Amino acid sequence: MKLNIALLPGDGIGPEIVDQAVKVTDAVCAKFGHTPLYTAALTGASAIDKVGDPYPEETHQACMDSDAVLFGAIGDPRFDNDPAAKVRPETGLLAMRNKLGLYANIRPVMCFPSLVHKSPLREALIEGVDFVVIRELTGGIYFGRPQGRTEDMNTAYDTCVYHRYEVERIAKLAFGFAMERDKKLCLVDKANVLATSRLWREVVQGMAAGYPDVSVEYMFVDNAAMQMIQHPKRFDVVVTENMFGDILTDEASVITGSLGLLPSASVGLHTSVFEPIHGSYPKAAGKNIANPLAAVLSAAMMFEYAFQLEQEAAMIRKAVESSFDAGVVTEDIDSTRASKTSQVGDWLADYIENH
């Protein structure tokens, strides 16, 4: 089977972690008889530097022509505190989501048994945690118009907009996930304050009758933020709007013990994108110290969701779990005997080849 994969390493640690995901992808393909075909493309600050556009048309075409996209990270501190910057790396990420129609971000949250001790939460709270957050990705305040500043620059405004069809399609996906898991769905919103949240609740309540086997819970976002820390095992499938999902999944990453462990899949109308949830971590760029496992696990999601190759995905996850047991981890997991980014990738590829 030929696998056409677009590679968008991006900024910061992106190129380093994508390299390790490629090593693992190559090892799995060699083991199972597949042929990976890669197309590398520019995005983020690196694309701005070279062509002046964080998501150039050539990159978009490469994504459209591929079966899946492996994406690293976007972001550069040069742009963070420059209010005069006309183009920012993050606008490339939003453009990619918009042009590819990536309306759903799927973020699994689970605690690996070997790393329970690394979480800041008590073991009794997190042992067995296994839930998934379905985040709406192309609507809400990140895309709402109007947006801007007044002429005197003393007032700024953003607009949160959602259409019924946007809520219906993400809710349908979330109900489908719930049916395949423990049949529990939690809608996170702020319906006591926001009109958009009241639309979300109205839509989900209307759809719930079509899924009588699914138990539906409705929770305000501030309560959900507390419950994810106090009682994370209560969740199975969480569905929420764009900004709430962005914040809650970063919070949920604490459960695993490292932000470098959570993968994600962004799916929608065209080619799906698979990426770690962490950022570009510019302070670690080029030092060969970043944790590549979120990128590697994103590759596992790619095999599962883009190619329907579940055995290959399971092989990658088994290799990752075994790397914990063997103590082959980066400094964020174990600073006393840390492996380098590239060493972790080499170990995983070797494990796959020999098991």
115 within some domain: no
216 Ramachandran zone, left/alpha/beta (phi>0; psi -120 to 50):
beta
Range with the lowest mean pLDDT among 195-199, 229-233, 348-352? 229-233
35 within some domain: yes
Do 89 and 133 lie in a common domain?
no
| Over residues 325-348, mean pLDDT | 94
Do 249 and 152 lie in a common domain?
yes
281 within some domain: yes
Do 52 and 161 lie in a common domain?
no
Last residue in a domain, options 233, 256, 279: 256
Nearby residues of 284 by Cβ (< 8 Å), 6 or more positions away: 12, 13, 290
129 within some domain: yes
Q: What is the pLDDT of residue 117?
A: 78
Distance in angstroms (rounded) separating the CA atoms of residues 141 and 301: 28
- Give pLDDT tens digits for 115-142: 887 788 888 888 889 999 999 999 999 9
Q: What is the pLDDT of residue 86?
A: 78
Distance in angstroms (rounded) separating the CA atoms of residues 52 and 54: 7
Phi/psi at 203 (5° precision): -65, -45
Q: Which domain holds residue 73?
A: 1-102+271-355
Q: Which residues are the active-site residues?
A: 142, 190, 222, 246, 250
Start-to-end CA span in the chain (Å): 21
- Give pLDDT tens digits for 256-271: 777 778 899 999 999 9
Query: DSSP strand E in 41-103: where?
Result: 68-73
Number of domains in the chain: 2
The identity of residue 218, as a single letter, is Y
310 within some domain: yes
Do 49 and 5 lie in a common domain?
yes
* Residue with more model confidence, 209 or 122: 209
Do 78 and 39 lie in a common domain?
yes
| Over residues 60-80, mean pLDDT | 95
Give the domain CATH number at 244: 3.40.718.10
Phi/psi at 287 (5° precision): -95, -5
